[in-house]
Amino acid sequence: MSISSSMNAGVAGLRANSNRLATISDNIANSATFGYRRANTSFHSMVVGSGLAGQGAYAAGGVRTTSTRLVDQGGSLIGTQNATDIALSGRGFIPVTTELGARLNDGTAPMMLSPTGSFRQDADGVMRNASGHALLGWPADVDGTIPAYPRDSTVALRPVRIQPNQQAFSATTNIDFGVNLPASATLPGASGDPYIMTVEFFSELGLAQTLNVEMRPVGSNSWTMELTHSETGDALGTFDMQFDTAPGLGGTLSSVSPAGTGPFAYDPATGQILLEVAGQSMTFSIGLYGEGGGIVQRGATFSPLGVQQDGFGAGNLIGLMIDANGDLDAVYDSGFRRTLYRIPIVDVPNPNGLTARDGQAFQVSRDSGPFFLWDAGNGPVGEFVGFALQESATDVAAELTSLIQTQRAYSSNAKVIQTVDEMFQETTNIKR
């Protein structure tokens, strides 16, 4: 019995080391594969019985193996030159789908998990990696905001598709009018000449237009401001402004008229004037009473350096960017950026329980537990890193060391079998 069990143990040892050799060879073969998670073979002894104490009988049980993929152990990050090369700085996975799933746009595309990916547009504008997997994300509204989507379901995820040759613009909704008016212009004997400037804004068609702003000193610390639409010549309002001279408040607005909450009136609660320009509504912010965030009157120099507006003219798509929050933005040659999708980060309770698929992708399984879609940087997950990929988790030096150990163990088990065979022959010869 003992000799037979020795033979079985040797065969089990050959099989176990063959399994370990398979995982080592897979790891070495994928040492340059971005996002690869190394496989590991663990050995477990088998006991089939050892007889009664003191009788010296022993039956070798041999060894068995279990092979697992260490999904929770990633490689280091490496910089690239592609903005849509995506890696994660911590725990979590990027949602992707199959090539067939990329054709579905109804929330039924099967979700897989990828640790990293180099995503580029295909002929249809779908963002894919080299394995053909399509990136999944939550679509943004027209204004770039992300609605509240369910976090435990893929029903709202869509394949990320970028329409080619698209143009986009942002109509102006607010003009911050921060200027410094010279206090010396309101002193007795001053010339009384007005200060005139134009302010650019963008219409609902993405066209650049201008407002004429004329500011005329009319008395001690008093000014009149007239707003006119340059293209149509329409008058948008005349406002009388008085500036404070009290200690600590000198040069700030003390009163503006007309005041109110309707169009073409100054709202003291917001510091804004609501304008209606050729059917387009926008706010003209000149600051609150007693504060210096808008129009002020100080010194002897006119300075218009604080004027800015929030619109952009129509521009052509020139690139894509992904930020640390997972927002995928389209970048236009006009300088405008608009969020198109938000990419969530997928997390599961047991990453090592995920089922491995081709192309460094994984699927949720019963062993991994249910998934949850997190915003980047929230909960246990990390953040997105653009211009980066995650290297293979394989340590080639360690694998070569394991390869030598496995080779020697395999040879030793083969020697056991050879020895048992010779002992069987000796036993047979006794009969002769």
The b-or-e profile of 49-81 (16+ CB within 10 A means b, else e) is: eeeeeeeeeebbbbbebeeebebeebbebeebe
Which token pair is 81?
Answer: 């030159």
Are 163 and 191 found together in one domain? no
The b-or-e profile of 294-313 (16+ CB within 10 A means b, else e) is: bbbbbeeeeeeebeebebbb
Are 300 and 188 found together in one domain? yes
Are 197 and 296 found together in one domain? yes
- Return the pLDDT at 49: 66
- Return the pLDDT at 50: 57
Are 47 and 93 found together in one domain? no
- Return the pLDDT at 107: 87
- Domain range for residue 69? 2-73+394-431
pLDDT digits (tens, 9 = 90+) for 173-203: 999 999 999 999 999 989 999 999 999 999 9
Q: Using the 3D structure, point to which of 284, 310, 336 is the last residue of a domain.
A: 310
Question: Residues with Cβ < 8 Å from 386, sequence gap 6 or more?
Answer: 83, 84, 85, 86, 321, 322, 323
Are 223 and 295 found together in one domain? yes
Are 278 and 358 found together in one domain? no
Are 299 and 324 found together in one domain? no
Are 254 and 288 found together in one domain? yes
Are 120 and 185 found together in one domain? no
Q: Are 137 and 384 in contact (CB under 8 A)?
A: no
- Return the pLDDT at 24: 97
Q: Are 191 and 203 in contact (CB under 8 A)?
A: no
What are the angstrom distances between the C-alpha of 295 and each of 12, 129, 191, 254? Answer: 86, 52, 21, 11
Rounded distance between C-alpha atoms, residue 177 and residue 11, angstroms:
85
Are 386 and 400 found together in one domain? no
Q: Using the 3D structure, point to which of 245, 279, 310 is the last residue of a domain.
A: 310
Are 189 and 297 found together in one domain? yes
pLDDT by position in tens, the chain (length 432) = 578 888 889 999 999 999 999 999 999 999 999 999 999 999 999 887 655 555 667 788 889 999 999 999 999 999 999 999 999 999 999 999 999 899 888 889 999 999 999 999 999 999 999 999 999 999 999 888 999 999 999 999 999 999 876 778 889 999 999 999 999 999 998 999 999 999 999 999 889 999 999 999 999 999 999 999 999 999 999 999 999 999 989 999 999 999 988 888 999 999 999 999 988 999 999 999 999 889 999 999 999 988 999 998 888 888 899 999 999 999 988 888 889 999 999 999 999 999 999 999 999 999 999 999 999 999 999 999 999 999 999 999 999 999 999 999 999 999 999 999 888 888 888 876
Q: Using the 3D structure, point to which of 283, 310, 337 is the last residue of a domain.
A: 310
Number of domains in the chain: 3
Are 321 and 421 found together in one domain? no
Q: Are 209 and 234 in contact (CB under 8 A)?
A: no
- Return the pLDDT at 166: 73
Question: Residues with Cβ < 8 Å from 418, sequence gap 6 or more?
Answer: none
Q: In terms of residues, how long is the chain?
A: 432
CATH number at 176 reads 2.60.98.20
